[in-house]
Chain A
Amino acid sequence: MQKSFPYTKWTFQLGILLPTLVIILLILDVSLGSVNIPLLQIVKALLGAETDKVSWQNIIWEFRMPKAFTAILAGATLAVSGLQMQTLFRNPLAGPYVLGISSGASLGVALVVLASYSLGSIFNTSLLGDWIVVLAASTGSGVVLMAVLALSLKVKDSMTLLIIGLMFGSLAGAIVSVLQFFSEAQQLQIYLIWTFGSLGGLDWNELYLLAVLCGLGLLIAFYLSKPLNTLLMGESYAQSMGINVKKVRILIVVSTSLMAGSVTAFCGPIAFIGLAVPHLTRILFNTANHKVLIPAVALSGMIIMLTCDIVSQLPGSQYILPINAITSLIGAPVVIWVILSKGGIKTSFSR
């Protein structure tokens, strides 16, 4: 008899391998960039020791570490949000943005950037620009989420919620298109750059705020592992096992909003992670049990996001490619390869 289920030997091995990989990739991510810093100095800096050059310490602690930590937070939370949405809607195509979070954020940013001719100059010159964009994005996603949340109190089943989320997305997209049509090239560029996504824009203060919001969302997700497992069987079964489905649905929306909403506000929309990482993790761990999946998906999200960040800064060059493109560019072929070679994603959602 297998007493330790749902944990298998393989789960324990991965439980050591994945965190190790996160640490290795973190060090690698911090060591790469336009300025070449020796690995030994990197490790020294990370351990809090003095580096040979003070500027190195500065670069590592003020630029590279915040960026790497942002990658870790964004990877973990987007992936866990995606997992929650896929389970709630029992749909393999669901992701963190199905509730209209990114559409709301885009609309907020578009309204501020595109609709305000006079503000154009502020964005190029001052730091204020960053904060205005963050504020616009979070207000936008916040408004959409409040609407979705209010509706989730009323709707009877999750599928209705899914359709409403998609409709909000279309609506926001349409308004953004109209705004784009009437705006100047310079404003369009600011908006477009935001949609590329960026992990590098955060200072430590912003990072603390992001960490608190993401941490809260992750805690709720962990707390929801049991209801999520029962939801795999459908809402009626979940209810028959004593789960308050309505309450759980609201908690899932709150948790996803905190995580995906705050990441989108600070980093822009980041595609792909939320959709693909849960599938890759299910195949890797060969389970649908959320007791295993939630920590596993969080770790896998970190790994993939750090990898994407490493690739995006093109070793040895000055340029940082848009993270939103990189995630799909290297992610999509990997997912196609994995699902073709490992027998598909459908075992989690069908018989």
Chain B
Amino acid sequence: MSIQLHTKDLAVGYRIKRRDVLIIDHLNVQLMAGKLVCFMGPNGVGKSTLLRTLCGVQRPLRGGVFIQDKAIESIQKDVLARKISVVLTDPVYIGNITVRELVSFGRYPYTGWNMNFSPEDARIIDRAIKETQLQPIADTKLAELSDGQRQKALIARALCQDTDIIILDEPTAHLDLNNRVEIINLLKHLSRQTGKAIVMATHELDLALQTADELWIVGFDKKLQVGFPEDLVLNGKVDHVFQLKGFDLRTGHLEKRKSKRNVSLTGESEGHYLLWTKNALERNGYGIDPENDFTIETMVTSDKAYWKINEGVTLDSLEKLIQYLDQL
């Protein structure tokens, strides 16, 4: 596994009237080929500033960014464009070009002034469109796209730039769950298939925990925590940074309210029926206690599920079960 990018004692921030505003200090991170890194932190903590520094748009206050062991500021702009591609939060206000044209912009670092594409370029453009599954709308104008399709087109453009490193700043913001999952899966798949090093700033903690190879977490203490996602959850670093109020990430539950009643769950059925029954009960304030005499049995037949209370009443949906319990 090769290191595509690393930083040496990097301090990022900006300079206002000769005064340095330090945002994140003492950064020593590495980006490995084939890994997806999710970069998380509360709003205003400087995620975008760090990403801008990593891709060379902004100068660091101290320390350095190295692309494959070369200092980033010593790399020519057009050469750098073949090493790092980006998807930014800047709104892209072009309506009347096609998806294919937008994606083809990614080949510009490889073409002359008159933008003639070689057969190789055309092949890479087609591949980027295919990998993002944009073929059906490849010749559609951007103005006619949904937010999700537009975001995928921007990702395809970055892919088409064919760089070892891709940096994305909140690519899933403003998207619905389907699109978020699709885009994160796409990035995961790309890092695996193409060996690209991908960093993505995101607020999707749940999705990040399920897909990221590595988490970068930064809080208002200006320190970046790097680690394996599950390790960071278990040692409390994630909770510390996000100060998740009333949510226990380790158990995955909102803070325990006082239970209305404790019940015990039985049933030999498949795991996920039990899981969601538990979820419905807990969400509505019922505690689970295997020792309790009040039993709820989950029964699953071939196509339907039933819930039997104290060997008596049988209900056929969780909604009815909760309503019944609430009336007791």
Residue numbers of A with Cβ under 8 A of B are 1-3, 5-6, 90, 223, 225-226, 229-230, 232-234, 236-237, 239-244, 282, 286-289, 291, 346-351
Q: Does B104 contact A (CB under 8 A)?
A: yes
Provide the residues of chain A in CB contact with B150, threshold 8 Å.
Answer: 351
Q: B122 near A241 (CB under 8 angstroms)?
A: no
Q: Does chain A have a CB within 8 A of B86?
A: yes
A243 nearest in chain B by CB position: B77
Query: Among residues 134 to 190 in chain B, which have CB atoms less than 8 Å away from a CB atom of chain A?
Result: 138-139, 141-143, 150, 161
Cβ contacts under 8 Å, A1 to chain B: 126, 138
Min distance, Cβ A280 to any Cβ of chain B, angstroms: 13
| Shortest distance from the beta carbon of A261 to any chain B beta carbon, whole Å | 24
B108-A347 in contact (CB<8A): no
Residues of the B chain whose Cβ atoms lie less than 8 Å from the Cβ of A3 = 122
* Complex CA distance for A230 and B86, rounded to whole angstroms: 13
Contact flag A90-B114 (CB < 8 Å), given A242-B108, A347-B141: no
Check if B77 sits within 8 Å of A288, measured CB to CB. no
Give Cα distance in the complex from A193 to B126, angstroms. Answer: 57
**With A226-B108, A351-B150 known to touch, is A282 a contact of B98 (CB < 8 Å)?**
no
Across the interface, A291 reaches (CB within 8 A) one of B91, B93, B94, B114, namely B114
Question: What residues of chain B lie closer than 8 Å to A225, measured between beta carbons?
Answer: 113-115
Using an 8 Å CB-CB cutoff, how does the interface string of B94-120 with A read, 1 for contact, 0 for none? Answer: 111110110011101101011100000
Out of A5, A90, A348, name the residue touching B95 (CB < 8 Å): A348
New A-B contacts (15) at CB < 8 Å, excluding given A233-B90, A242-B108, A351-B95: A3-B122, A5-B100, A6-B98, A225-B113, A226-B115, A229-B108, A232-B94, A233-B94, A234-B92, A236-B52, A286-B96, A287-B101, A289-B97, A349-B93, A351-B92
Identity of the chain A residue whose Cβ is nearest the Cβ of B98 in the assembled complex: A5
A239 to chain B, nearest CB (A): 6
Query: Which residues of A have CB within 8 Å of B97?
Result: 6, 232, 287-289
The reply on B197 being an interface residue by CB < 8 A is no
Q: Which are the 4 A-B pairs with shortest beta-carbon distances? A: A242-B81, A347-B95, A242-B78, A242-B109
Distance from A289 Cβ to chain B, minimum over Cβ atoms (Å) = 6
Which of B77, B90, B139: most chain A Cβ within 10 A? B77
Partner of A241, one of B100, B108, B113, B143: B108
Give Cα A58–Cα B274 distance, bound, in whole angstroms.
99
Q: How far is the CA of A239 from the CA of B115 in the complex (A)?
A: 17
Are the C-beta atoms of B101 and A6 separated by less than 8 Å? yes
Residues of chain A within 8 A of B300, CB atoms compared: none
Q: Does B244 contact A (CB under 8 A)?
A: no
Across the interface, name the chain A residue whose C-beta is closest to B169. A236
Residues of B within 8 A of A (CB): 52, 55, 57, 77-82, 84-86, 88, 90-98, 100-101, 104-106, 108-109, 111, 113-115, 122, 126, 138-139, 141-143, 150, 161
- Chain B nearest Cβ from A197, distance in angstroms: 32
| Of A232, A234, A240, the contact of B81 (CB 8 Å cutoff) | A240
**B92 x A237 contact (CB < 8 A):** yes
CB pair A226 B100 closer than 8 Å: no
A-chain residues with CB within 8 Å of residue B143 when the two chains form the complex: 347, 351
Partner of A229, one of B84, B92, B105: B105
C-alpha gap A291/B116 in the complex (Å): 10
| Closest chain B residue to A349, Cβ basis | B93
Say yes or no: A288-B100 contact (C-beta < 8 A), given A240-B55, A244-B77: no
- The complex places the Cα of A77 from the Cα of B86 at a distance, in Å, of 35
On chain B, the residues within 8 Å of A282 by CB distance are 96
A-B contact pairs, 17 of them (CB 8 A): A2-B139, A223-B113, A226-B114, A229-B105, A230-B108, A236-B57, A237-B92, A240-B81, A240-B88, A241-B109, A242-B108, A242-B109, A287-B96, A346-B95, A347-B96, A349-B94, A349-B95
Chain A residues in 8 Å Cβ range of B161 = 241
Minimum CB–CB distance for A230 against chain B, Å: 6
Indicate if the CB atoms of A350 and B108 lie closer than 8 Å: no
Tell me the nearest residue of chain B to A247, going by C-beta: B77
**What's the least CB distance linking B42 to chain A, in Å?**
23
CA separation between A233 and B86, bound complex, in Å?
12
**Minimum CB distance partner of A244 in chain B:** B77
CB distance from A49 to the nearest CB of B (A): 39
Asked if residues B90 and A234 are in contact (CB atoms below 8 Å), the reply is: yes
Decide: B96 and A348 in contact? CB cutoff 8 A: yes
Taking A232-B94, A237-B90, A291-B114 as contacts, is the C-beta distance between A5 and B104 under 8 angstroms? yes
